[in-house]
Structure 1
């Protein structure tokens, strides 16, 4: 069974929303939000879409499925923007990103 409940709870708490606050966002009731969070009821596709918009995450992220399920919308947007760059600019950007990642990994290795 899909454990969407824990993801809903995590996202709701990250926004400091009560179940009532989320219910208002998705045009539902606090009782239904509680049921979703306990996985006693599965939200409809329509409700999942409303939640993803309210939390500003993708549907994949919310349900934990799909290729980009671990990425929020901000990361996806950045990836899409990078994809629109010309090849030379991408090459320079990837060079910088690769160096930052390598420096981070090196620092983590020495911090142990």
Structure 2
């Protein structure tokens, strides 16, 4: 079962918006936003696109589907940009990323 409503509510709250604020941003009524969030109604494709646009995510992210569904547009854009780098630059970038990830995991493991 899709939990689109939960995702919409989470994204709206992350922006600090009321249901009315979101409704204005996408040209809908506050009532329909409430129905989306309670999973009483599912957004049309057009509304899902508007929601994705105002939140800066993909439609897949809103729907919770697809291999990139958990990434926002900014993360996806960076991944796409990395794919276009020459192999040596990509390798160097991955070494830097790996170092940061290793250090973050170590801090989590040792509670610091």
Report the TM-score, using the length of structure 1 for normalisation.
Answer: 0.95
1:75-112 Cα shifts (integer Å, max 9, x gaps): 10110111111111001001111111112222222228
CA distance in 1, matches of 2:110, 2:12: 36
1:15-64 Cα shifts (integer Å, max 9, x gaps): 11111111111111000000000000011011000000010011111111
Structure 1: which 5+ residue stretches go unaligned?
Answer: none
Size of the alignment, in residue pairs? 112
Structure 2: which 5+ residue stretches go unaligned?
Answer: none
Report the TM-score, using the length of structure 2 for normalisation.
Answer: 0.95
Match in the other structure for 1:44: 44
Map residues 16-95 of structure 1 onto 2, 5 A cutoff. Answer: 16-95=16-95
CA distance in 1, matches of 2:29, 2:104: 45
Q: Over aligned residues, Cα RMSD in angstroms?
A: 1.2
CA distance in 2, matches of 1:38, 1:75: 28
